Amino acid sequence: MPEKTTKKKEKQPPILFDKTQALIERANKTLGGTLVAYFNNPRGSVCHDDVLALYEVLENIGVQDKIYLFIKSSGGNGQASLRIVNLLRQYCNEIIAVIPLECASAATMITLGANQIQMGPMAYLTPVDTSLTHALSPLDRDNDRVSVSLDELTRVVRLWQAQNGESRQNPYKELFQHVHPLVIGAVDRAESLSIMLCKELLAYHIKDDGEAEKIANTLNAKYPSHGYPILYEEAKRIGLKVNRLEPEINSLLLELNELYSEMGQRATTDFDDTHAHGNEILNIWESTNALVYFQQDKDWFYRTEERRWISLNDVSRWRRVIKVGSRVQKSDLHIS
């Protein structure tokens, strides 16, 4: 008789709802307001689906006088940032962003819509220059499309002109061999959009158009690196309304971040050299008695001839955990 084989049990990420709720309750008492937490793991990002997830959380807590928004994210879609702030504004009179760690790119955009930004000792914002992954973007060594930023393209052209002096040779003739013209046009449009989004977000609490435009242009054009860390003093010089985060609150948020990081760890089950299954929580929204998270749940197959992993049987979805009285209800949240 053939030997019977058993499939490995797929690993699952932990859902630490009881622990995170206890920390949120402590934070609410210390802050004297309502905390809403937003967390991305390193492979998560700010996206349009976040708006519906946030709506579930806000509907559960209702309208508040003041919302303290904890953000830990490396960025994502700037247009989603505008929608997130617009939704929050419909559920509170004042938003205070509380930042203990990384708050980059599109996450920085979210803070622009807050009345005040409180930054911990390790907190930083970043510039918001827009990079774009286009259908015609160049390919990397794994045959994946790479993101292209207008700042990078502009610097290539500037360097070319500096080295060639009075030469009338067109740098774009060489550049077009590596970057499609439509990609360059799309990235240029994206940066114009980024400045517009920043001004719209700042308009929620800054009535001086000149001041808002100055801050928006600084965040989009001043810095030589998209990942440049804008620390507390620099944020103040830019004109942002920043204050120091209280040590007690900073410690609570770092504890909360540690729990979210544990929830967001990769839970990969390797079946053999070319087959695996991935379970991973990418985005988390949480407030009192409500947790909504996006779980990536799919098989992976390594296609050797293309030297890359492709996904199969993708059943990734948003899920929610709601506490009603003493009962905890778990269900899928269908967002399309």
Instruction: Tell me how far CA of residue 106 lies from CA of 69, 83, 112, 201, in angstroms.
Output: 15, 12, 10, 11
pLDDT number for residue 109: 92
Question: Given pLDDT bands bounded at 50, 70 and 90, which one contains residue 221?
Answer: confident
Q: Is the model's pLDDT at 131 over the cut of 70?
A: no
In the chain, CATH 3.90.226 sits at: 17-127+223-266+281-295+317-333
To which H or E segment does residue 264 belong? Answer: none
DSSP lists the bridge partners of residue 312 as 299
Question: Given pLDDT bands bounded at 50, 70 and 90, which one contains residue 166?
Answer: low
Question: Given pLDDT bands bounded at 50, 70 and 90, which one contains residue 2?
Answer: very low
pLDDT for 222-278, tens place per residue? Answer: 777 778 899 999 999 999 999 999 999 999 999 999 999 999 888 777 777 777 777
Q: Is the model's pLDDT at 280 over the cut of 50?
A: yes
Count CB neighbours of 86 within 10 A: 14
Whole-angstrom Cα distance, residue 217 to residue 214?
5
Whole-angstrom Cα distance, residue 241 to residue 201?
13
Whole-angstrom Cα distance, residue 27 to residue 76?
27
pLDDT number for residue 4: 44
Residue with tokens 């100055």: 214
Question: Given pLDDT bands bounded at 50, 70 and 90, which one contains residue 178?
Answer: confident
Instruction: Tell me how far CA of residue 132 lies from CA of 145, 159, 226, in angstroms.
Output: 10, 22, 12
In terms of pTM, does the model score above 0.85? Answer: no
pLDDT number for residue 197: 84
To which H or E segment does residue 235 belong? Answer: helix 232-238
pLDDT for 190-210, tens place per residue? Answer: 656 778 888 888 888 888 888
Burial 12-28 (b: 16+ CB within 10 A, else e): ebebbbebbbebbebbe
What value does the mean pLDDT of the chain take? 84
pLDDT number for residue 162: 73
| Residues, the chain | 336
Residues 6+ apart with CB under 8 A from 22: none
Give me the helices (H) in 102-180, please. 106-112, 150-164, 171-175
pLDDT for 40-85, tens place per residue? Answer: 999 888 999 999 999 999 999 999 999 999 999 998 888 899 999 9
Phi, psi of 8 (to 5 degrees): -60, 145
pLDDT for 74-124, tens place per residue? Answer: 988 888 999 999 999 999 999 999 999 999 988 999 999 999 999 999 999
Average pLDDT of 153-163? 70
To which H or E segment does residue 221 belong? Answer: helix 209-221
pLDDT number for residue 143: 67
The CATH number given to 17-127+223-266+281-295+317-333 is: 3.90.226
Residues 6+ apart with CB under 8 A from 77: 45, 46, 47, 48, 106
Q: Which amino acid is at 313?
A: N
3-class DSSP state for residue 291? strand
Structure tokens, 111: 């803070």
